[in-house]
Amino acid sequence: MRSLIFALTLLPLGAAHAQTSAAQTSPTPAAAAGSLNVATGSPTGTYSAMFKNIGRVCTQSAYLRERGSSGSLENIDLLLNNEVSLAFVQSDVLKARQQIDKDPRVDGIKALLPLHNEELHLFALPPVVSKNILGQTKTQGIAKFEDLKGKKVAAWGGSLITARVVSAMAGLPFEVVSVKDQAAAFAALRAKQVEAVLAVVGQPANWVKDLSGVNLVAVPMAGKMNSIYTAAKLFYPNISAASVPTVAVQSVLATRDFKTPERKKLLLAYQKCAVNKLVNLQEDEGMHPKWQDVTFKTWPWPQYK
């Protein structure tokens, strides 16, 4: 991981953590006695769907209550601040919090379940091609990844951290603009306040399937990105007739390193049930397609035992 530390030491992430936590964390009623809160994401996101899917096959987990959030960045804060007991998070956000922010509390976070890869979605308005009087063409806008240099890119939640990590590791400087959520990001894009939107979400994301009037921009495996990310492809017929290359990062269902026997028994039983029911999660009708990518064998973060 030395290359990660070297590439990212100058990234100003602390402000993003503080801003997101203050602006996006909303209070929630205290969990009922015997229940545990789980931070997921938006109601239409992959995290929320997969949490509900596990609940369908592990019916004894009714004590787990979903808490919606803005995503990985807020989820880590909720977990560290003891506002939830479980949280869905991107592994690159965990690594950045540990190695860039040097937050010692992150060492107390463990992976209860290693999950799917989440793809980086890079959106832009269709580029405008014009000709001068000599017949020479000129393209304005974002047609390829390299066009981001010096431009503004909107992101929210854990995608804020991914955007900064990718910019540093690819050696492509662009300005990351923090926004509240997906709606705010695309409002800024359509108003041309930013040139692109970057979102990390497991495909197929329902909200992406509803988009129109935007392009998906290919993201290459550039610079030192292969130390964290893997190559992937996006398939959204509503946006592109062909697949679009990108990169992906593995997500985990994280918890704190609880030692209380009763708490530990509950969490390990939940872990065991999900692992034993993987075939059901992959084959039962209505389950999220991302279960096809899950093996429960690759751990990007230390396991809860």
Mean pLDDT (the chain, rounded): 88
Based on the fold, state whether residues 91 and 129 are members of the same structural domain: no
> From the CB of residue 76, how many other CB atoms can be counted at a distance below 10 Å?
28
- Do residues 99 and 4 lie in contact, with contact meaning Cβ atoms separated by under 8 Å? yes
**Mean of pLDDT values over 236-244:** 95
User: 148-160: per-residue pLDDT in tens?
Assistant: 999 999 999 899 9
Is 70 exceeded by the pLDDT of residue 3? no
Q: Which domain holds residue 138?
A: 120-249
The answer as to whether 231 is a domain residue is yes
pLDDT of residue 154: 98
Beta bridge partners of 38: 66, 86
> From the CB of residue 88, how many other CB atoms can be counted at a distance below 10 Å?
27
24 — pLDDT class (breaks 50, 70, 90): very low
- Do residues 292 and 298 lie in contact, with contact meaning Cβ atoms separated by under 8 Å? no
Based on the fold, state whether residues 158 and 226 are members of the same structural domain: yes
Based on the fold, state whether residues 243 and 259 are members of the same structural domain: no
Residue keyed to tokens 């999660």: 281
- DSSP 8-class letter at 56: H
The answer as to whether 299 is a domain residue is no
Is 60 exceeded by the pLDDT of residue 25? no
Is 80 exceeded by the pLDDT of residue 135? no
pLDDT of residue 45: 87
Based on the fold, state whether residues 197 and 167 are members of the same structural domain: yes
pLDDT of residue 102: 92
User: 30-57: per-residue pLDDT in tens?
Assistant: 333 468 999 999 898 889 999 999 999 9
pLDDT of residue 304: 98
Q: How far apart are CA 169 and CA 147, in angstroms?
A: 16
DSSP β-ladder status, 86-90 and 36-39? parallel
Is 50 exceeded by the pLDDT of residue 15? no
Q: Which amino acid is at 236?
A: Y
- Do residues 155 and 197 lie in contact, with contact meaning Cβ atoms separated by under 8 Å? yes
The answer as to whether 298 is a domain residue is no
Non-local (6+) Cβ contacts of 72 within 8 A are 41, 88, 89, 90, 93, 157, 158, 161, 200, 251
Q: What is the pTM of this model?
A: 0.80
Is 90 exceeded by the pLDDT of residue 70? no
The answer as to whether 218 is a domain residue is yes
CATH of the domain at 6: 3.40.190.10
**Mean of pLDDT values over 79-104:** 94
Beta bridge partners of 249: 118
Based on the fold, state whether residues 255 and 245 are members of the same structural domain: no
DSSP β-ladder status, 64-67 and 36-39? parallel
Q: Tell me the DSSP string of 259-281.
A: --HHHHHHHHHHHHHHHHTHHHH
26 — pLDDT class (breaks 50, 70, 90): very low
Q: What φ, ψ does residue 135 adopt, rounded to 5°?
A: 85, 5
107 — pLDDT class (breaks 50, 70, 90): very high
Is 70 exceeded by the pLDDT of residue 167? yes
Beta bridge partners of 131: 137
Looking at the structure of the chain, the number of domains it has is: 2
144 — pLDDT class (breaks 50, 70, 90): very high
Is 50 exceeded by the pLDDT of residue 29? no
The answer as to whether 305 is a domain residue is no
pLDDT of residue 23: 36
Whole-angstrom CA distances from 290 to 120, 129, 201, 250 are 15, 37, 11, 12
Based on the fold, state whether residues 176 and 273 are members of the same structural domain: no
Is 80 exceeded by the pLDDT of residue 4? no
The answer as to whether 238 is a domain residue is yes
pLDDT of residue 48: 95
2 — pLDDT class (breaks 50, 70, 90): very low
- Evaluate the omega torsion of the peptide bond into residue 104 and state whether it is cis, within 30 degrees of 0: no
Q: How far apart are CA 276 and CA 274, in angstroms?
A: 6
- Do residues 149 and 174 lie in contact, with contact meaning Cβ atoms separated by under 8 Å? yes
